[in-house]
A and B are shown apart, each in its own frame.
Chain A
Amino acid sequence: MKLPRLFLILSLAALLGGCASSTPRMAEVRQFAAQSPKLNAYQELTERYCGTYPRQQPFLSAAADQREKDLDLRRQDACGDFRKLHIGVTAYMQALGTLAGDKQYDLEDQIKDLSSGIKAWPDTGLLDRHVNAFAGLARLLSRGITRQRQESAVDDLLRDGEQPVQDLLDAMRTLLRLYDKSNDNEQRIVLGMLETEIPYVDAERNRLLLALAKSQQQSKTAEYRLIGLRYTLARNNLDAIERSHRALAGQIPQPK
């Protein structure tokens, strides 16, 4: 009877199939997707940019305040769009991560259920080795089908996403640069007001005012230095995401 030999072959095949696992490229895709929280720095600085007015307001003259109010109306109007830029990229990166997921294609649990389900039926004439061979075959088939599907689905997504992701990252980088420059002017308005008014404070009569003004000067200087560092971090984060994205997109096999 040839059946035992067939089962032997199936078992061997199943054993080999069991060795297959997620490719290094899928691991790289997952690594890229895991960087999506890095876009939070962009989001944080967008919020800071959109909240410029109340920070600046106490340091403005009445005329400057009126001009800043008008500017803020236009700023708030644009901020809706600025906030949306990262949402598409974040959603894309997360979907890519799920699609390239290690567990996503792991049918091990189902295969185990399959074997144990059958073992629950004694006296059927089905021997353990038959069951194992069947499970092995199912494992092999499901691996073959889904691994291939995984690779091609991830490739499709990378290929179709390459240009829009690039465009959005470019725009985010430009916006960060413009926020940063705008922040420089904000800083110079706030610190400049203190710097030009402090020399006129009578140190004898207004000791408290002078102390408060100098203390405010110190804390504002520290605040703007920290924000400067956040801009550097946000820019580096965007660069890192762009580099990994380019590297992945460069590895996509040509569509058949």
Chain B
Amino acid sequence: MAHHPQQDDIEALADNLSASADALHARLMRAIRKPAPGTPSSPNQPGIAQGVAQALFENEVALRQRANGLYLDAARLAAAGLGPQRQQLLELTARAQEKIDQIARIKDLVDIAADLLAVAAGVAAAKPEQVVKPLENLKRHIEAL
């Protein structure tokens, strides 16, 4: 397979962006959980204003979206150029089907042998009326080949 070194670079860059987003998120959650300064009376009050938290989270989301865009680019590179391989497998599959059909024809040959023997038996018994049906079968089998 034509491996793209570029694909690894893109993936590594996206991994870095994801890791930065993780770090940002950890900082953000620490800031939110830390009680706001000067308000010991309300320990459940987040340590930063909601607007600040939302703006910081928006940055984190943007980093993750950028990373996901790069993962998509890497995925496109990985899937690109595999058309010939797919085509080759479909052709191989079609050829296998032909072989399966050939084998079915060998089975027909065995049927023909049976028909021939039946014709021979009819002739040996000198009963021409008994030869008609085997002959018809034989004709059908040969036509099917």
List of A residues within 8 angstroms of B54 by Cβ: 61, 196
Count of A interface residues, CB-CB < 8 Å: 78
List of A residues within 8 angstroms of B58 by Cβ: 61, 63-64
List of B residues within 8 angstroms of A252 by Cβ: none
List of B residues within 8 angstroms of A118 by Cβ: 114, 117-118, 121
The reply to whether B15 and A78 contact each other, CB–CB distance below 8 Å, is no
Nearest-neighbour CB distance to chain B for A148, whole angstroms, equals 11
The reply to whether A74 and B72 contact each other, CB–CB distance below 8 Å, is yes
Nearest-neighbour CB distance to chain A for B89, whole angstroms, equals 4
List of B residues within 8 angstroms of A111 by Cβ: 110
Contact residues of A between 139 and 157, Cβ < 8 Å to B: 142, 145-146, 149-150, 153, 157
CA distance A160 to B96 in the complex (A): 11
Count of B interface residues, CB-CB < 8 Å: 69
Nearest-neighbour CB distance to chain A for B73, whole angstroms, equals 8
Contacts A75-B72, A145-B106, A149-B103 hold; do A92 and B92 have CB atoms under 8 A apart? yes
Give the dominant DSSP class at B's interface: helix
Contact residues of B between 101 and 138, Cβ < 8 Å to A: 102-103, 106-107, 109-111, 113-115, 117-118, 121-122, 124-125, 130, 134
The reply to whether B100 and A88 contact each other, CB–CB distance below 8 Å, is no
The reply to whether B65 and A71 contact each other, CB–CB distance below 8 Å, is yes
Contact residues of B between 9 and 54, Cβ < 8 Å to A: 11, 14-15, 18, 21-22, 25, 28-29, 32-33, 44, 46, 50, 53-54
The reply to whether A107 and B96 contact each other, CB–CB distance below 8 Å, is no
Is A250 in the interface zone, CB < 8 Å from B?
A: no
In the complex, which residue of chain B has the Cβ closest to the Cβ of A196?
A: B57
Is B61 in the interface zone, CB < 8 Å from A?
A: yes
The reply to whether B79 and A124 contact each other, CB–CB distance below 8 Å, is no
Contacts A61-B61, A71-B65, A110-B110 hold; do A121 and B121 have CB atoms under 8 A apart? yes
List of A residues within 8 angstroms of B86 by Cβ: 84-85, 87-88, 164, 168
Chain A residues within CB distance 8 Å of chain B: 52, 60-61, 63-64, 67-68, 71, 74-75, 78, 81-82, 84-85, 87-89, 91-92, 94-96, 98-99, 104-105, 107, 110-111, 113-114, 117-118, 120-121, 123-126, 131, 134, 138, 142, 145-146, 149-150, 153, 157, 160-161, 163-168, 170-171, 174-175, 178-179, 181-182, 184-186, 188-189, 192-193, 195-196, 199-200, 203
17 contacts between A and B (CB under 8 A): A52-B68, A64-B61, A81-B80, A85-B86, A88-B87, A89-B89, A92-B93, A114-B111, A121-B121, A146-B103, A174-B74, A175-B75, A175-B79, A179-B75, A185-B65, A189-B64, A200-B46
